[in-house]
Structure 1
Amino acid sequence: MKTITFIGNGNMALSIAEGLKENYKIEVVGRDSKKLDAFEQKLGLHVEKSLLDNYNIEQKTVMLCVKPANVEEVSAKLQGKAEILYSVLAGTSIEKLKNNFNTSAVVRAMPNLAASVGKSMTTLTGDTAYKEESQTLFSSIGTTRWLGSEKEIDIATALAGSGPAYLALIAESLTDGAVKQGLKRDDAMAIMRGLFDGFGTLIQDIHPALLKDGVMSPGGTTAAGYAALEQGNVRNACIEAIEKAYKKAVEL
């Protein structure tokens, strides 16, 4: 069983490890032994744990899951040369990673928190020699898409990486709207969850515009609600959300 060495033990590292733990051996490296123990406990199985200072990454498959601002500090504490460095750091270029980490190859990956339930949409780019291996690795946590440039993965970060937060806002807002009209909170939450579950399947094969047209009867309830969303400029707000998130990824 191949070993994946996680540098960093935050929420994203845990989500990815949750998806990989059935098919890969997990190692985790961090600064705080208590946090490493907590990581192991949440993961629910034994993992090799090491402190960051002078950790040797020689010929390891490394999953870098630290904050972008900590790249220089973290890299200075490592020894050896990794076989491959997978980075999930938003907006952190391959050039910067190669300048700071001793590694034979770099692949940037942008999964999302659905990795923990095997439903991540993970975009990838980097050294093409590892294209197949990286897709196999991240297929363990969901769906993958190899992109041709770093600009594209920064845009994808704004869409798939940040997307769960946008959809959570929509889900919460729709539920609040139902409660406002008199539906019990528990009922509204259950109905919203069923809505998202079914929609997730439908959208795999049907274009969004066709899906909308199929639901919207002339002069009906959907048309009335849809008009309110357009009046509230929801479409443009979503477009601007991608733009703002992409620009922030580039800034990072």
Structure 2
Amino acid sequence: MKTITFIGNGNMALSIAQGLKKNYKIEVVGRSLEKLKKFEEKLGVEIEKHIMDGFHMQDKTVLLCVKPANVQEVSKLLQGQARVIFSVLAGTSLEKLRTNFNTQAVVRTMPNLAASVNRSMTTLTGDINFQEEAKELLGAIGSTRWLSSEKEIDIATGLAGSGPAYLALIAEALTDGAVKQGLKRDDAMAIMRGLFGGFGELIQDIHPALLKDGVMSPGGTTAAGYGALEDGNVRSACMDAIEQAYKRAKEL
């Protein structure tokens, strides 16, 4: 079984490890042995645990999951040349990764938290020789899409990477709206979850505009609610969210 070495043990690392643990041996490198033990407990399988200071990554396949601001600090603690680094760091360029880390190759990846249930939408770009390996590795946690430039992956970060937070806001708001009108909270939550589950299947094959038109009958309930969303500039706000996330990715 192939070993994947995680540098970092935060929420994203845990989500990806949850998706990989059945098919890969997991090795995690962090600053605190106590936190590494907690990581292992949450993951539910035995892992190899290493302290970051002085860790040798010679010829290893590395998943870099530290905070973007800590790149220089972390790189100084590691030794040896990695075989390849798959980075999940938002807005951290290939050039910066190659400058700070000793590695034969680098691939930028942007998974999302759905990795923990093998449903991540992960975008990829970087050393083309590792395209297929990147697709296979990250394909273990969901769907993948190889992009042709770093600009595109920074844009995709605002869509797929940050998207779960946006959808969570919408899910919560719709549920609150139903409760406001008199629906019990448990019933509203169950209905919302069923809605998102079914919609997730439909959107795979049907354009969003066609889905909307199929539901919205003239003068009906959907038309009334849709009009309220347009009055609230929801469409514009969603587009602005992608723009602001892309700008932030470039700043990082």
Classify the TM-score, shorter chain: over 0.9
Query: Partner of 2:34 in structure 1?
Result: 34
Partner SS, residue 69 of structure 2: helix
Query: Partner of 2:108 in structure 1?
Result: 108
Output the amino acid matched with 2:109.
A
Percent of aligned pairs with the same amino acid: 76
Alignment of 1:127-142 (within 5 A): 127-142=127-142
In the TM superposition, residue 11 of structure 1 has moved relative to its aligned partner by: 0.2
In the TM superposition, residue 139 of structure 1 has moved relative to its aligned partner by: 0.6
Query: Partner of 2:20 in structure 1?
Result: 20
Map Cα deviations across residues 46-78 of structure 1 (whole Å, 9 max, x no partner). Answer: 100000010000000000000000000000000
Output the amino acid matched with 1:71.
V
Output the amino acid matched with 1:86.
F
Map Cα deviations across residues 166-194 of structure 1 (whole Å, 9 max, x no partner). Answer: 00000000000000000000000000000
Query: Partner of 2:178 in structure 1?
Result: 178
Map Cα deviations across residues 18-52 of structure 1 (whole Å, 9 max, x no partner). Answer: 00000000000000010000000000011000000
Partner SS, residue 129 of structure 2: helix
In the TM superposition, residue 162 of structure 1 has moved relative to its aligned partner by: 0.1
Partner Cα separation in structure 1 for residue 137 and residue 90 of structure 2: 19
Partner Cα separation in structure 2 for residue 31 and residue 133 of structure 1: 28
Query: Partner of 1:149 in structure 2?
Result: 149
Partner Cα separation in structure 1 for residue 188 and residue 212 of structure 2: 21
Partner SS, residue 74 of structure 1: helix
* TM-score (normalizing by structure 1): 1.00
Partner SS, residue 56 of structure 1: coil
Partner SS, residue 140 of structure 2: helix
Query: Partner of 2:251 in structure 1?
Result: 251
Alignment of 1:183-202 (within 5 A): 183-202=183-202
Alignment of 1:29-178 (within 5 A): 29-178=29-178
Partner SS, residue 78 of structure 1: coil
Q: Which runs of 5+ in 1 are unaligned?
A: none
RMSD, aligned α-carbons: 0.3
Map Cα deviations across residues 106-145 of structure 1 (whole Å, 9 max, x no partner). Answer: 0000000000000000000000000000000011000000
Q: Which runs of 5+ in 2 are unaligned?
A: none
Output the amino acid matched with 1:175.
T
Partner Cα separation in structure 2 for residue 169 and residue 78 of structure 1: 39
Output the amino acid matched with 2:115.
A
Partner SS, residue 80 of structure 1: coil
Partner Cα separation in structure 2 for residue 189 and residue 132 of structure 1: 40
Output the amino acid matched with 2:68.
P
